[in-house]
Amino acid sequence: ASEYPDYIQPEVVDIVRRVNAVRKDSSIVFVAMADSHYVADQKLNFYDAETNASTVQANQAAKVLSYLIQPDFFAHLGDVSCGHGTTTPDMLKSQIEGFINYFRNKFIR
């Protein structure tokens, strides 16, 4: 993960430390995230690049976390794509596939 922003690793390590401090053999551990709003190539507004950058960095953090903590499952709680009145089914599919590709090797078999 050397290509990830410098601030991701210390934040993830802190989360791992906190989870491991209370984790027991009987614990169920999972990663949950929401509101990624991945825009992909769709043009919606001035903040598209920032929205995509924050989605990429959140995905990077979740992927590093998943490797370090070995969760039992991963849950995305909604708003994977940006979605808009101009979003076509093909755009939505592309946005969701772009998001899922970050986790394909870890969680999807």
Checking if the pLDDT of 108 tops 60, the result is: no
Q: Strand (E) positions, the chain?
A: 30-33, 73-76
Q: What is the distance of C-alpha 30 from the center of its chain?
A: 13
Query: In this model, does residue 106 exceed pLDDT 60?
Result: no
Higher per-residue pLDDT: 68 or 55: 68
**Pick from 73, 16, 81: nearest CA to 42:** 81
b/e map 76-102, b = 16+ CB within 10 Å: beeebbbbeeebeeebbebbbebbeeb
pLDDT at residue 67 in the model: 85
pTM of the model: 0.72
pLDDT of residue 2: 62
Mean per-residue pLDDT, 1-18: 84
Residue 36 DSSP code:
-
Residue 93 pLDDT more than 80?
yes
Residue written as token pair 């043009």 = 43
Average pLDDT over residues 8-12: 87
